[in-house]
Amino acid sequence: MIKRFRGEYQWLSNMVACKVTYDGIECPSSEHAYQSAKSDDMEWKSLCANKQIPSKKIKVESRKVDIVYNWDDIKLEVMEECLRSKFSKNPFRAMLEATGEQLIEEGNSWSDTFWGVDLKTGKGDNNLGKLIMKIRKENRNERDINREST
């Protein structure tokens, strides 16, 4: 079981540098891409595409933008698309596949029970972990289909 995105599993974190394309814009991490979708402001989207701005700063700054009206309805979809972009190519695709069937939890100490699991209470929806495991399964199925067709 993977309980948190630290140490050998740091690469699962949305904060890790990797090219992620969302809505036609290439961003330097899945966190940048996800945060870019919160607003229709093109200045904001441009800021989120900037490689020089760390993921954590983008996350903090996202609290100041005018969020699209339907954000709560679309945020899971947006995250899934960002994660698909990240885990569709190597090395992240191969690293994810190497986790086998392990349960993946985004354990955290900041009480995020929507995306992860609060390490103090053990409670949380773990939506980030669930999306990553869904993509892992789909990638594996796609690989198996490709093997069968050759």
On whether residue 115 sits in a domain, the answer given is yes
H or E stretch at 141:
helix 127-149
Q: Tell me the percentage of the chain whose pLDDT exceeds 70.
A: 97
Identify whether 75 is part of a domain: yes
User: Tens digit of pLDDT for each residue in 60-114?
Assistant: 999 999 999 999 999 999 999 999 999 999 999 999 999 999 999 999 999 999 9
Number of domains in the chain: 1
Of 36, 67, 62, the residue nearest 49 (C-alpha): 36
2 belongs to a structural domain:
no
Q: Which CATH number covers residue 64?
A: 1.10.357.40
57 belongs to a structural domain: yes
- Domain region containing 93: 7-149
In a domain, 1, yes or no: no
The percent of residues in the chain predicted with pLDDT above 90, rounded, is 93
Instruction: Decide: residue 25, CB within 10 A, 0-12 exposed, 13-18 middle, 19+ buried.
Output: middle
Whether residue 43 is contained in a domain is answered as: yes
Cβ-count burial 31-61 (b if 16+ within 10 Å, e if not):
bbbbbbbbbeeeebbebbbeeeeebeebeee
Query: How many Å apart are CA 135 and CA 86, to the nearest integer?
Result: 10
Which structure tokens are listed for 114? 């929507």
Helix (H, G, I), strand (E, B) or coil at 69: coil
Q: Hey, which residues does 2 pair with through a beta bridge? A: 104
* Residue 14, both tokens: 């949305």
3-state secondary structure of 104: strand
pLDDT grade for 145, boundaries at 50, 70 and 90: confident
Residue 109 in any domain: the answer is yes
